[in-house]
Amino acid sequence: MPRAKGGSKSRQRRKKIMKLAKGYVGGRGRLYRSARETVERSLAFAYRDRRVKKRTFRGLWITRIGAAAKLNGISYSKLMSGLKQAHVELDRKVLSEIAMYDLPGFGQLAQAAKSHLGA
């Protein structure tokens, strides 16, 4: 019985990895075994960091909102609590955009939060 070497499917598998390794330096971009190791590692990092990116951006938004809240004389936690009581359903991403580009509008939101905290 002749030896089966895989043929076109094996070549397709290798070409897929080598295509992903395009641009890598040295053997990592030319040699299949090291290219595969590097590509698998990079895909694992990409998967993980798509989730880490969400955490990082949430932290950035909270920092921006907190800074704008301090300018309006209220803490971040009190602002968020007051907005929830005032039934203002804006997420942190939108609030941070308002804080950056529309400071008077953010001031109105802060006032609404302050008024609902006292009530």
User: Where in the chain are the domains?
Assistant: 8-118
The pTM for the full model equals 0.80
So what's the pLDDT on residue 62? 98
Query: Regarding the domain with residue range 8-118, which homologous superfamily does it belong to in the CATH classification?
Result: Ribosomal protein L20, C-terminal domain (1.10.1900.20)
Which residues have C-beta within 8 Å of that of residue 36, sequence separation ≥ 6?
A: 17, 21
* Calpha distance 37→67 (Å, rounded): 44
CA dihedral 102, 104, 106, 107 (to 10 degrees): 170
Say which residue the tokens 């907190």 belong to.
66
* pLDDT (tens place) for every residue of the chain, 119 residues total: 888 887 899 999 999 999 999 999 999 999 999 999 999 999 999 999 999 999 999 999 999 999 999 999 999 999 999 999 999 999 999 999 999 999 999 999 999 999 998 75
How does DSSP classify residue 2? P
3 state DSSP class of 59:
helix
Is there a contact between 58 and 90 (Cβ–Cβ < 8 Å)?
no
